[in-house]
Amino acid sequence: MEKAFLKAQPEGEIDYSEIPPLGDAFWKNAVRNPFYRHTKTSTTVRIDSDVLLWLRAQGKGYQSLINDILRRVMLESAQSPGGDMSATKM
C-alpha cells in the first residue's frame, strides 16, 4: 500500500484485528530502549562565576551535572499543574 493511501484513510477504517492487545503484563515488563541516547547540542551559556566554580568543584563531569540539574527541573516543571516554569522563576 502506498503511504498517501494510508495517510488518507480515516481512523475508523483501519483494521487492527491482527494486532494482539497489550495487557498489563506486557507493560509491567516493558523497558526503555537500552540503545537510546539523548542527542547533545553544543551551546554557549553565561553562568555566574560562583555557580561555575561550585559545579567544577564537584569533580569531573561538571557539564553532565549541569545537564542533570536542568533535566530534573524540566521534568519537575512538566509534572507540575500547568507545566510551566513559574514555580522556578526568580
Written as tens digits, the pLDDT of the chain (90 aa) is 578 887 888 888 888 889 988 899 999 988 888 898 889 999 999 999 999 999 999 999 999 999 999 999 999 999 887 766 655 554
Alpha-carbon distance values, 18 to 1, 13, 21, 41 (Å):
17, 14, 9, 41
Position 38 scores a pLDDT of 85
Quick check: helix, strand or coil at residue 36? coil
Length of the chain: 90
User: Can you give the pTM of this predicted structure?
Assistant: 0.53
The pLDDT of residue 88 is: 53
